[in-house]
Amino acid sequence: MFPELNNLLNTTPDRAEQGKLTLLCDAKTDGSFLVHHFLSFYLKANCKVCFVALIQSFSHYNIVGQKLGVNLTMARERGQLVFLEGLKSAVDVFFQPQEKPHPLQFLREANAGNLKPLFEFVREALKPVGSGEAGWTYPVLLVDDLSVLLSLGLGAVAVLDFIHYCRATVCWELKGNVVVLVHDSGDVEDEENDILLNGLSHQSHLILRAEGLATGFCRDVHGQLRILWRRPSQSTSQRDQSLTYQYKIQDRSVSFFAKGMSPAVL
């Protein structure tokens, strides 16, 4: 986790809020550093994490996690982390006939399917196991990323349904958190993606949006992060709070600064 981002979000692993949906969004840049942040944050907070990693392999997250101070292999071995490696599972489900529904069953289907098997997987992974379990604080579902599901043929509605079920189970029933990443296609007209993004934005409590700079590539400032706190259930008379920072990604951390205050510029 990045200590500077914790300060900006006003949280620490000890006293994070529960029952929240956080939406990570990136436009014209790579927002995966936010995923690494939340993964290490919740592992350090002693939560039980179910990570649906659809876009990269386990070793990728493991190596970056080690730079951020968490050991994913050990977390997985002691049961704190349940890792669904999308790429590896896709090969399994595609080349071998499955007896029971596989979380990525939709890859074999012709028509736009639904994500019920994936939801069953998540629910099974995060359900509280008896009293003998080493006490994890609360469950967390992390998905990287949802846009991959759209590009593999699922409809935006199917993905929204999946998130709805996950929220009902993880956020409301189990008092945990859900963090998802969606790519913003920007000016490319991707209707399904826009539906998904808008739908999730309405439901989220916290939106972190990483954007590339409008002026193009810069070596010292990699992008801009917009943080938006929302209260979806309460009345809209209260204004949502929004902050914008610029950031630079380094080898082991990310540094944030106010707009125009990059150390390279000053």
Partner 1 sequence: MAAVATCGGDAGSAGSAVATASKSNVTSFQRRGPRASGTNDSGPRLVSITGTRPSVRNGQLLVSTGLPALDQLLGGGLAVGTVLLIEEDKYNIYSSLLFKYFLAEGIVNGHTLLVASANEDPANILQELPAPLLDDNCKKEFDEDVYNRKTPESNIKMKIAWRYQLLPKMEIGPVSSSRFGHYYDASKRIPQELIEASKWHGFFLPEKIPSTLKVEPCSLTHGYIKLLQFIQNIIYEEGFDGSNPQKKQKNILRIGIQNLGSPLWGDDICCTENGDSSHSLTKFLYVLRGLLRTSLSVCIITMPTHLIQNKAVIAHITNLSDIVVGLESFIGSERETNPLYKDYHGLIHIRQIPRLNNLVCDESDVKDLGFKLKRKLFTIELESGFASFHSAHF
Residue ranges binding partner 1 (CB under 8 A): 30, 32-33, 36, 55-60, 63-64, 66-67, 73, 76-77, 79, 82-97, 100, 102-104, 107-110, 120-121, 124-125, 147-148, 150-153, 183, 185, 188-193, 216-217, 219, 249-252, 254
Q: Where are the beta strands (DSSP E) in the chain?
A: 21-27, 48-53, 81-85, 139-144, 177-184, 206-211, 223-229, 241-249, 254-257
**Closest to partner 1 by CB, 53 or 228:** 53
**Closest to partner 1 by CB, 32 or 228:** 32
Distance CA 221, CA 218 (A): 6
53: nearest Cα among 73, 69, 40, 39:
39
**Closest to partner 1 by CB, 17 or 30:** 30
CB of 23 to partner 1, least distance (A): 17
**Closest to partner 1 by CB, 57 or 244:** 57
Distance CA 28, CA 185 (A): 8
CB of 46 to partner 1, least distance (A): 16
CB of 246 to partner 1, least distance (A): 16
CB of 81 to partner 1, least distance (A): 8
CB of 207 to partner 1, least distance (A): 20
CB of 220 to partner 1, least distance (A): 11
144: nearest Cα among 65, 41, 78, 56:
56
Does a cis peptide bond (omega within 30 degrees of 0) precede residue 144? no
Distance CA 154, CA 111 (A): 8
**Closest to partner 1 by CB, 183 or 205:** 183
Encoded tokens for 255: 């540094």
